[in-house]
């Protein structure tokens, strides 16, 4: 991955950042990072927002534009939307629900094959994050001081489908809960469809 793509990846996975913060994360000079960010602005992939700083000087934070987000996989959104509308037209909402249930069952089988219930919860959530990343969700796990974890998904490859049919999101949350078991609480605390930058799930022992 070249330097420019690394900068875009950081903005995708961490949200708006200052050039100084990005330089520290990437082990680059501030000037080198700003050069890449300015290139991103020229390409229409990056924008910036100036906010007041502590001593009066504005702080510039850089973020991806809609076109920047679109560089990441979307699982052929247009085709997916066409298929959803086709199922609705031919079979109604009941037919669409059957499609969602079938997808849910397939996802659950796939995750159960990767998540070993005899391992620790940390290991199970890490395995689930790995499985989600293979599907394009750019997932990672962030431990918290109280022993709980955040399962973070920095990209939604089915975002267009979920906007058209929000049952897909309900379905995914249900699958997580079943795979991790009844002794684990899984709560969605950030949701892209509600305007958040990413989806985040709080995972803890019941």
48-104 per-position pLDDT tens digit:
888 776 766 788 889 888 888 878 765 555 656 677 777 778 888 888 888 778 878
Whole-number Å distance between alpha carbons of 119 and 116: 6
Mean residue pLDDT of the chain comes to 85
CA distance 132 to 179: 13
Top-confidence residue, 197 or 81: 197
Report, as an integer, the average pLDDT of 179-202.
92
CA dist 206 and 203 (Å) reads: 9
Residue 15: per-residue pLDDT: 83
Is 198's pLDDT higher than 80?
yes
pLDDT of 160 over the 80 cut: no
User: Average pLDDT of 18-22?
Assistant: 91
* pLDDT at position 161: 60
pTM over 0.75: no
Structure tokens at 7: 């900068």
Strand spans (E) along 31-138: 46-52, 58-64
Region 14-26 average pLDDT: 88
Is the model's pLDDT at 1 over the cut of 80? no
**Cα torsion at 81, 86, 92, 93 (round to 10°)?**
-20
What pLDDT, on a 0 to 100 scale, did the predictor assign at position 170? 75
pLDDT of residue 119: 95
pLDDT band at 42 (very low <50, low <70, confident <90, very high): very high
**E-strand stretches of the chain:** 46-52, 58-64, 139-143, 149-153, 184-190, 199-205
- Residue 162 banded pLDDT, cuts 50, 70, 90: low
CA distance 192 to 179: 22
């Amino acid at each position: 991955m070249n330097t420019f793509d690394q900068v875009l990846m950081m903005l995708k996975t961490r949200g708006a950042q200052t050039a100084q913060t990005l330089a520290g994360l990437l082990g680059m000079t501030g000037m080198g990072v700003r050069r890449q960010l300015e290139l991103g602005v020229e390409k229409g992939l990056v924008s910036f927002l100036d906010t007041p700083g502590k001593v009066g000087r504005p702080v510039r934070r850089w973020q991806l534009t809609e076109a920047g987000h679109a560089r990441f996989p979307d699982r052929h959104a247009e085709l997916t939307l066409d298929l959803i509308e086709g199922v609705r037209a031919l079979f109604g909402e009941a037919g669409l629900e059957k499609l969602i249930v079938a997808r849910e069952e397939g996802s659950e089988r796939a995750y159960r094959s990767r998540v070993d219930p005899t391992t620790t919860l940390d290991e199970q959530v890490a395995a689930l994050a790995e499985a989600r990343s293979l599907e394009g969700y750019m997932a990672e796990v962030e431990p918290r001081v109280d022993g709980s974890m955040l399962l973070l998904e920095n990209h939604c490859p089915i975002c267009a489908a979920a906007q058209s049919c929000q049952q897909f999101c309900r379905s995914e949350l249900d699958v997580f809960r079943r795979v991790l078991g009844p002794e684990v609480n899984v709560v969605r605390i950030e949701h892209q469809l509600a305007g958040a930058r990413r989806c985040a799930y709080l995972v803890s022992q019941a």
